[in-house]
Amino acid sequence: MRTFAAVDLGASSGRVMAGRAGPGKLELAAVHRFPNEPVRAGGTLHWDILALYRGVLEGLRRAGPVDGIGIDSWAVDYGLLDATGALLGNPVHYRDARTDGIATMVPEDELYALTGLQKLPFNTIYQLVAAAGTPQLEIARQLLMIPDLIAYWLTGEPGAEATNASTTQLLDVRSGTWATGLMERLGIRPALFPALRRPGETIGRVLPELGLGATDVIAVGSHDTASAVVGVPAASEHFAFVSCGTWSLVGVELDAPVLTEESRLANFTNEGGVDGTIRYLRNVMGLWPLQECLREWGQPGLPDLLRAAAAEPAFGAVVDLDDPGFLPPGDMVRRICRQAGRELEPPAIVRCIVDSLALAHRRAVRQAQELSGRHVDAVHIVGGGARNELLCRLTADACGLPVLAGPVEATALGNVLVQARAAGAIRGDLSALRALLRETQGIVRYEPRGDEAAWRAAERRVGSLTCG
């Protein structure tokens, strides 16, 4: 067995995991966890990228000698470098208000036909349009997505890993190359964007001055959802995935993008996956509203709240988690209660969020099948949401399909699997990697037992709501 370090940076925390892999063997252990706390300065919400990098270095030192390092993170955000390779300020957070009301002046149907991406106000394309004319962007000579920026600091090698590049809405979804014509139309300099690299390619050797040993950094599915989908232990191609954390990414894995007008109007996205696959999915708000409510309440124990929520009446209150009014941080309890139409106690708010999230999963799984033509026999929930028994059970009821929950650390496992295959420690295609997951990881099965008529009625209620 060989050991690989998986650097996994999420929207609220980061971690370094050590994975050991070999024929028929796959183990994972946490080495270091650290917070990811945004900072508001001068009216702008930033990522504290240097604190994250410090956490990464500490984790890699604790991991000790490894046979490879892979880095994944959330999507769409980037750092700008000057002509000397120095970072021009902290990257701006995708939840910052600078993209509010921003449009590209490119017809939406044309943009979708080229990039295949769901319209989301924080996509990189809108961030760059919003930043037009700023001194930083004017003097920048290179743009690196967050995991590529960390890799650059580790190796000195710039580049753009393809799965994360696909989230920028500046990549041609058919050719898999930068959409330079689109960039030029929008006044975005194509020269900012480095050469693309694919999962499994070696980025470079860790710089000697970092004292981490002569270790290669290996490109993985650097968009964390791309790695998470590798970590789905599916037994066939007929599965839906829910990568559930701050966001719920709900969809199916395909060989080619779906670029129909119906797909665009349903706001489905075609993102690049490992081995040339397409992650056909919708972004659903996920556990973000719950996380924000817990923060407002002073971080009470979630297990006790979930037990109390399970005893609350089903559909006592529901909200539309696709409403962009839930996107900004702060004041979440008031917004939930306002859309629900009345004041709610914490257990009822938690039940409202979980019921509403299961409804959102139901809608996205159904639409993914209808729009792609891919029949689904089971729903796999991976990520932190796999720990939430109430959410998993309600998602099975809502979808009328078995839910297979786990692994929780699917992203880190997918990261390790791609590294291990690139290094020759294991072999095989995605189906072989997933077979190894089924052999080595614990998975919990939930059978559907819900009242379909009640779910349909709740879905109709959600359709009439707005966030005040």
Task: Give me 325's structure tokens.
Answer: 């009014």
Q: Which of 8, 72, 96, 224 is catalytic?
A: 224
224 is catalytic: yes
Residue 357 neighbours by CB under 8 Å, 6+ apart: 248, 284, 285, 286, 287, 321, 391, 395
Residue type, 437: L
Residue 267 neighbours by CB under 8 Å, 6+ apart: 118, 119, 282
CA 339 and chain centroid, separation:
26
Give backbone dihedrals phi and psi of 457, rounded to 5 degrees, phi first.
-65, -40
Question: In 3D, which of 79, 80, 78, 77 has the Cα closest to residue 94?
Answer: 77
User: Tokens 């089903």 identify what position?
Assistant: 314
Distance CA 451, CA 219 (A): 45
Q: Are 458 and 354 in contact (CB under 8 A)?
A: no
Q: Taking the CA atoms of the chain, what radius of gyration do you get in angstroms?
A: 21
What would the DSSP string read from start to end of 417-461? Answer: HHHHHHTTSS---HHHHHHHHHHHS--EEE-----HHHHHHHHHH
Distance CA 22, CA 407 (A): 19
Q: Are strands 444-446 and 378-382 parallel, antiparallel or unpaired?
A: unpaired
Residue type, 152: Y
Catalytic positions are: 224
